[in-house]
Amino acid sequence: MQQVGNVERRTILKAAGASLAAAGLGATATACEGGSGSGDGTVTIRYSWWGAEDRAERINKTIALFEKKYPKIKVKTDFQQYADFWKKFNTQASGGNPPDVFQNAIGFLRKYDAKNVLLDLGDQVEAGNLSMDGFRAGLEKFGEVDGKLLGVPVGSNSMALVIDKPVWTRAGASPEQGWTWDDFDAAMTRIRDRAGRAGDSGMYGVMYLYDLYLRQNGKAFFTEDGLGFTEADLTRWWTKAEKGVRTGLVADAKKVVQIKPKSAVAGELAAAEFTWDNFVVRYTSEGTSEYGLAPIPTTDGKKTGQYLGSLMLSAAKRTRHPKEVAQFIDFMVHDPEVAKIMGYDRGVPTTQVQYDAYRPTGEVDKSIAAYEESLVKAGVLETITPHPDGADICEAAFLRIAEEMSLGKRSVDEAVEQFFTESKTALTG
């Protein structure tokens, strides 16, 4: 997620699904136009992803390697900014002409599986065209839904607390593995009182963090078919958020909005922000301080609720070239040269061979690798909570409504009621 590409993955956390909230796919579609073939046996597959120019340059280099190894397979590429990608994908899928292979995320698997868009890659594994061996930390299961392999992970990340290290040092605060939410609150107070800065950027619109908090307490944001928490649960969470803003422990939301897309941490409005671990690269490029990764606070001093998340590659069910698509995905997740080109642009490589092939030399990338290694060593990683059809719309609503609340446009009770109303529609409609 390095440099510009990193902004795109942050958008996953902060705005996933917003572009699809008002659009739906038809249940039926005409035959997929998909990739094309030629008289000499060469086939062309279409590959789409979201990202910016830096990611495109890296991916095009990996495609050149793939086409050299598979001269009978040509890859036609297309990339967009995150929201534009899903608008275009939705239109293509509605017309029965999605790309043969495309970048995907956990919040969209059930959505597009329910609309008969995604190819179950399990058959290609059995045929020997795609290997699911050699993945790190159970990531080979990340793209499985109801026994179907709907996505193959290409890069891993996990939630973390990105901190402005000099500010924390000046405040005398020191986050450690196993610290509690009470410890976190005490650190926020120290930072406000001793360093003269808000402790946190405003974590209460971050769905994935709230998911971890719920998991620490025996619940989860999603079950397989709906929400896994109550209105009373969310009221408590957002009431604490409101108090944090009022007491200066959390940054002024109006100022945070004003400096977007720059983060509140890099903009020196807050000393910390909960986000994905590899976003620390972005903050380093945006800001002038030294930034680091701190562990997720816990309820009991042990359970963080964490899992490794991942971008993934999925295939269209209507592709004319499932074998070639599977070979392409296999190459992208196993070839060591691909890892050397991509680095940590999409997260830490998911297969061990690629992880070993790219050893970062920069301190920031080293810190990301060390953070994920620490999670494995601490034994805190669990299986990701399943996301139901409609999860992307719920996530977008959570972000938007939380921001409205933080800006004083809604009370906590109004915000909670609105979120549950919108979520009920998204998850049942």
Question: What CATH number does the domain located at 4-155+309-358 have?
Answer: 3.40.190.10
Per-residue pLDDT of 243-262, as tens digits, reads: 998 999 999 999 999 998 88
Q: Is the pLDDT at 38 greater than 50, yes or no?
A: yes
CB within 8 A of 246, min separation 6: which ones? none
Q: What CA–CA distances, in Å, run from 60 to 125, 152, 227, 353?
A: 25, 19, 39, 21
Average pLDDT, the chain: 89
14: helix, strand or coil: helix
The beta strands (E) that lie in 194-290 are given as: 272-276
Give dist(CA 351, CA 54) in Å, integer. Answer: 23
Where b means 16+ CB within 10 Å and e means fewer, 194-230 reads: ebebbbbbbbbbbbbbbbbbbbbeebbbbeeeebbbe
**Tens digit of each residue's pLDDT (9 = 90 or more) over 125-153:** 999 999 999 998 888 989 999 899 999 99
Homologous superfamily (CATH) of 159-306+386-428 is Periplasmic binding protein-like II (3.40.190.10)
Mean pLDDT (whole number) for 267-290: 91
Model pTM? 0.80
Residues of the chain with CATH 3.40.190.10: 4-155+309-358, 159-306+386-428
Give residue 53's pLDDT.
Answer: 84
Q: Are 241 and 46 in contact (CB under 8 A)?
A: no
Res 174: pLDDT: 92
Which residues fall within 8 angstroms of residue 353, CB to CB, at 6 or more apart? 134, 334, 336, 339
> What is the CB neighbour count within 10 angstroms for residue 318?
20
pLDDT for residue 16 is more than 90: no
pLDDT at position 237 is 96
Residue among 419, 360, 366, 370 at smallest CA distance from 394? 419
The pLDDT tens digits for 191-233 are: 999 999 999 999 889 999 999 999 999 999 999 889 999 999 9
Quote the distance between the C-alpha of residue 15 and its chain's center.
10
Q: How much is the average pLDDT of 340-360?
A: 92
Does 383 score more than 70 pLDDT?
yes
pLDDT for 37: 65
